[in-house]
Structure 1
């Protein structure tokens, strides 16, 4: 069985930057421990990066969320230092201008099991989980709730419930 973990948007702006949360900061050590274990077991890693340009505030997303974040080349755009050793060994690092990474399904075509972790459960994790489920309905698609965090604890729980209803397996305490 070939398994991949998709590490969604573990960038500084979502952890302790302009859109950071206490939950994201508290989840990070659990994610590091999980990735160490999974990598030792031969699981491949794919990272996504929310990526915006200087004109972010003029985009549809920027008009609805007028907080500049993950602007290409800034410190906030970078994947957190705590995960850099994993990034160096990743199968792919996919930049995405919106919630879902439209090139992600092609990067994961040869896997039997795909697990998602990262930020934010209620925006980008759910978008990518449902995108992958649509492309690969017979592939095991799961989310580790203990290695995700949402904008709020309530929206995190709502996203997990929605994914469960769409036959994405939700693992870990939430």
Structure 2
């Protein structure tokens, strides 16, 4: 049984673009190393892309966060750095207009239904890395846990961050409360 790694929104606009923040670039190597390890083990890697269009400022999200970002076809929409180089044409890609990916959820549900028919789990685990911990990471982790309730869902704290360190810690706390395994989390002082 394979593991699934979901790399969430590690796009230029979240690292050093319109919504970039100091420290986001430091995730490049740990995420790239994790992708390489999954590939070496023969596991699956998938990517989400926050995807907006020129009408973004007129959308619900745009009215609440009026900073145009991740517009399809722009450099800000593309994956950042070495992570971009590691994406393969055969990898599953989910373009999502909202924080959570409905297509990712549906893929997990379909995998769960197929696994139920043969009495096994669809994945050994689903691990989630990328940006931003308190928005899209938590949203997709909850979707994974909902779609595949018996599959361990893992978030690597060393491979995610937020523009707001307090919200980052709170998001990790909430995920732990939802029985999502948060690994590599520094000890609290």
Tell me the TM-score normalized by structure 2: 0.88
Alpha-carbon deviation of 1:91?
Answer: 2.8
Matched, 1:146 2:158: yes
Aligned length: 174
Query: Contact 1:6–1:115 (CA<8 Å) still a contact in 2?
Result: yes
2:134: which partner in 1?
A: 122
Unmatched tracts of structure 1, length 5 or more: none
1:81: which partner in 2?
A: 81
**Residues of 2 paired with 1:158 and 1:82: CA distance?**
29
Q: How does 1:1-174 map to 2 (within 5 A)?
A: 1-88=1-88, 90-108=90-108, 109=111, 110-174=122-186
Alpha-carbon deviation of 1:153?
Answer: 1.5
Cα deviation code 1:105-134 (max 9, x no counterpart): 233323231000000000000000001111
After superposing on structure 2, the runs of 4+ consecutive aligned residues of structure 1 that deviate more than 3 Å are none
**Residues of 2 paired with 1:3 and 1:89: CA distance?**
19
Question: What SS does structure 2 have at the residue aligned with 1:139?
Answer: coil
Unmatched tracts of structure 2, length 5 or more: 112-121
Alpha-carbon deviation of 1:138?
Answer: 0.7
Question: What SS does structure 2 have at the residue aligned with 1:45?
Answer: strand
User: RMSD of aligned C-alpha atoms?
Assistant: 1.3
